[in-house]
C-alpha cells in the first residue's frame, strides 16, 4: 500500500498490559475486567471538561445565529456521530438538517464495514462541499486514533469555508497535532482488545457527544428544568412523556393535560406557556417565536418568573 503510515505509537494501537491473558479469562473475569477498564472513560471526560464546555458554548452561539452542526467520522466514530444527530429531532424537536452526521461511505457504512473509505482526504473534503457548509456552521471531526484522512479532509475544507471546528480523538497531542478551534482529547488508554476502538474509545466518544448535543440544546432553551419540553410527540410513548411533563409541572390531571396538549398542537412548551399565562395559542406562539422558542424568556416577557418544579 502506497504511503503506509506507521501507527503503532498511537495510544489507541498499543497493547494493554491488564489484558495480556484475555483469551484465558472466564466469562466473569472478562466482565469484571471490562468494567474496571471502562472506569477510565469517566476520568477522560473529567480531564476534558474545559474543552467540552468550550465546544458547547461555541456550538450554541453558532446554532443560535442560524448555523448547523456536522459530525464527521469513519467506522465506529462515524456511526456514533450519525446516531447522535439522528436522536436530536425526536428528543428536541429540531429539524433534521440542524444536526447532521457524515460518515465515510454514506448510509451503507452504517450497517456494513467500509473502513477502506476512511483513507480518502478528498472524499471528506467533497462531503463538506456537497453540504454547502458556511462560516455559520460547526464541524466536529471524530477519529479515535486521530489520523483518519477522511476526517481531516473534511476539517480542512470546513476551515477554508470559515466554519468553526472541533476535534475529538483518543490520542494525546504529542502523538498527533491538528489546528482546530477546540481540541478534545479523551485519553482512555489502550483497549483490552488491542486496537479495537469500538470499546473504550467508542464509549467515551458517545459520552462526549451526549454532553455536547444535550448541552447545546439546553443552552438553546429546549429544556425546562430537566424536562425535554421540545419533545416531538410522534408516538404513544412520547405522548405519554409529554403528558407527564405537563402534569408534573402544572399539577393538572391527566385529562386536563391531554386537553391542553391538544390545544397547543402537541407542543409541550406552548402548552405550559398557555397554562401559566392564560394566553391563547396564537399569542403564545408569537411570543415563543420572538424569543427563539426559549420558554423561560417567554415567561419573563409576560411577567412570570417563579414556575419552578
Which residues form the catalytic set?
Answer: 87, 118
Q: Can you spell out the DSSP letters for the chain? A: -TTPPP-TTSGGGSPPGGGTTGGG--HHHHHHHHHHHHHHHHHHHHHTHHHHHHHHHHHHHHHHTT--EEEEESHHHHHHHHHHHHHHHHHH---TTTEEEEETTGGGGGTS--GGGGG-HHHHHHHHHHTT--TT-EEEEE-TTS--HHHHHHHHHHHHTT-EEEEEESS-GGG-----SEEEE----S-SSTT-TTTHHHHHHHHHHHHHHHHHHHHTT--BTTB-TT----SHHHHHHHHHHHHHHH---HHHHHHHHHHTTT-HHHHHHHHHH---HHHHHHHHHHTTT-HHHHHHHTT------
Amino acid at each position: 500500500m502506497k504511503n503506509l503510515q506507521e501507527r503503532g505509537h498511537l495510544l489507541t494501537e498499543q497493547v494493554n498490559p491488564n489484558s495480556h491473558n484475555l483469551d484465558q479469562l472466564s466469562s466473569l473475569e472478562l466482565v469484571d475486567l471490562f468494567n474496571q477498564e471502562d472506569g477510565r472513560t469517566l476520568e477522560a471526560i473529567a480531564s476534558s471538561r474545559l474543552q467540552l464546555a468550550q465546544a458547547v458554548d461555541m456550538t450554541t452561539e453558532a446554532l443560535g445565529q442560524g448555523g448547523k452542526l456536522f459530525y464527521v467520522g469513519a467506522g465506529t466514530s462515524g456511526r456514533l456521530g450519525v446516531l447522535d444527530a439522528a436522536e436530536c429531532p425526536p428528543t428536541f424537536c429540531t429539524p433534521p438538517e440542524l444536526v447532521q452526521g457524515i460518515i465515510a461511505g454514506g448510509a451503507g457504512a452504517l450497517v456494513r464495514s467500509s473502513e477502506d473509505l476512511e483513507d480518502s482526504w478528498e472524499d471528506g473534503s467533497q462531503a463538506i462541499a456537497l453540504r454547502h457548509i458556511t462560516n455559520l456552521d460547526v464541524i466536529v471531526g471524530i477519529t479515535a486514533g486521530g489520523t483518519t484522512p477522511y476526517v481531516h479532509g473534511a476539517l480542512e475544507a470546513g476551515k477554508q469555508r470559515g466554519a468553526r471546528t472541533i476535534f475529538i480523538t483518543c490520542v494525546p497531542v504529542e502523538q498527533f497535532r491538528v489546528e482546530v478551534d477546540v481540541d478534545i482529547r479523551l485519553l482512555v488508554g489502550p483497549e483490552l482488545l488491542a486496537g479495537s476502538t469500538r470499546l473504550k474509545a467508542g464509549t467515551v466518544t458517545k459520552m462526549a457527544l451526549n454532553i455536547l448535543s444535550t448541552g447545546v440544546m439546553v443552552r438553546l432553551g429546549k429544556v425546562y428544568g430537566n424536562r425535554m419540553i421540545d419533545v416531538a410527540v410522534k408516538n404513544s410513548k412520547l405522548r405519554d412523556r409529554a403528558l407527564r411533563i405537563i402534569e408534573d409541572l402544572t399539577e393538572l390531571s391527566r385529562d386536563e393535560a391531554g386537553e391542553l396538549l391538544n390545544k397547543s398542537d402537541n407542543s409541550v412548551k406552548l402548552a405550559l406557556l398557555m397554562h401559566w399565562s392564560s394566553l391563547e395559542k396564537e399569542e403564545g406562539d408569537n411570543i415563543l417565536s420572538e424569543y427563539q422558542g426559549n420558554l423561560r424568556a417567554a415567561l419573563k416577557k409576560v411577567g412570570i418568573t417563579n414556575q419552578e418544579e
